[in-house]
Structure 1
Amino acid sequence: MQTPPDNIPFIPFESFEIGQVQNFGAYAVTRDEIIEFASKYDAQFFHLDDELAKASLFGGLCASGWHTCAMTMSMMVENMEAHGRSLGSPGLDALRWIKPVFPGDILSVEMEVLELRASESRPIGFVTSRVTVSNQKDEPVMSFVSKGIFPRGG
């Protein structure tokens, strides 16, 4: 079992406030990565073939929504490595793929704290946030509601 590095602290539950907003990330989406991901996990023609994708609903080669989720997770983990980590997550709700993500797009993340709930039986708290992923034009491309688990009393 791998243990986390000692120099990356956990973010204490008490450091969150409802309405708090955090912006981070700058993920450059590449054509090759779109095709590589789709080849393994979502092999639909509009994720794999430039010419066929032009005639699709999307008008061009675009990333799988699941790939957009993976790119978002990459930005979230990078942010955690810089600012502190969570204890994990029990999941997410209301996942929406709003606009297609194309090669050359630069993705970024905004997280807004919606709800805080301290556990009554354990020294942890749950932070519910709205996560919005946008492209370089500040157009939302994906959104979801995330729940994170954080230690209390720190």
Structure 2
Amino acid sequence: MADRYLDDLAVGESWEGAPFTITEAEIIAFAQQFDPQPMHIDAAAAAEGRFGGLIASGWHVASRVMREYVDAAYFGATPMLGLSIDDLRWLRPVRPGDTLTARREILAVTPSQSRPDRGTVKTKTWVRNQDGDLVMTFENLMQLPKDASARL
């Protein structure tokens, strides 16, 4: 993808990322390091729990969505700075073998009042599983340079 800057973006622009599959091995590996709760690391205990089986940590799902975003490089090599994640919702459990797809839409493009070389872009992300069920949503605010001449 070509480099894209604040001046290149429009409210309503949207794109869908490449699907990716969550494996049992990665669910357990992520959870052992970052979220070691029984429903994420122990299949037998998870089967007896409220979800009826192993599920991915929400933080794991969020990190995989971020990885897909970086790999897709929708803004090319344009330097971006994440400023916030708002209204993060985990709506359904993600299970081993689920294939997820993230769709993003630009909600706002706002030039900076105090620094004319940059501005912010607000996006909304919807993540669905292979059945079309919504599993996660969030809004993201990022800072981008106004155009190719800006040096952030």
Aligned length: 147
Residues 107 and 124, structure 2, Cα contact 8 Å, conserved in 1: yes
Percent identity at matched positions? 32
Q: The residue matched to 1:25 in structure 2 has which SS? A: coil
Q: Distance in 1 between matches of 2:129 and 2:14?
A: 18
Residues 1:12 and 2:22 are matched in the alignment: no
| 1:50, distance to aligned residue in structure 2 (A) | 1.1
Q: Unaligned regions of 5+ residues in structure 2, if any?
A: none
Question: 1:22 and 1:135, CA in 2 relative to 1: closer, same or farther beyond 3 A?
Answer: same
Residues 11 and 150, structure 1, Cα contact 8 Å, conserved in 2: no
**1:49 aligned residue (42, 49, 52):** 42
For normalisation by structure 2, the TM-score amounts to 0.89
Residues 99 and 141, structure 1, Cα contact 8 Å, conserved in 2: yes
Question: 1:139 and 1:116, CA in 2 relative to 1: closer, same or farther beyond 3 A?
Answer: same
Q: Distance in 1 between matches of 2:129 and 2:91?
A: 11
Counterpart residue identity of residue 50, structure 1: A
Q: The residue matched to 2:67 in structure 1 has which SS? A: helix
**1:92 aligned residue (85, 93, 103):** 85
Counterpart of 2:28? 35
Q: The residue matched to 2:60 in structure 1 has which SS? A: helix
Map 1:101-116 to 2 at 5 A.
101-116=94-109
Residues 1:72 and 2:72 are matched in the alignment: no
Q: Name the Cα RMSD after superposition.
A: 1.7
Q: Distance in 1 between matches of 2:63 and 2:124?
A: 17
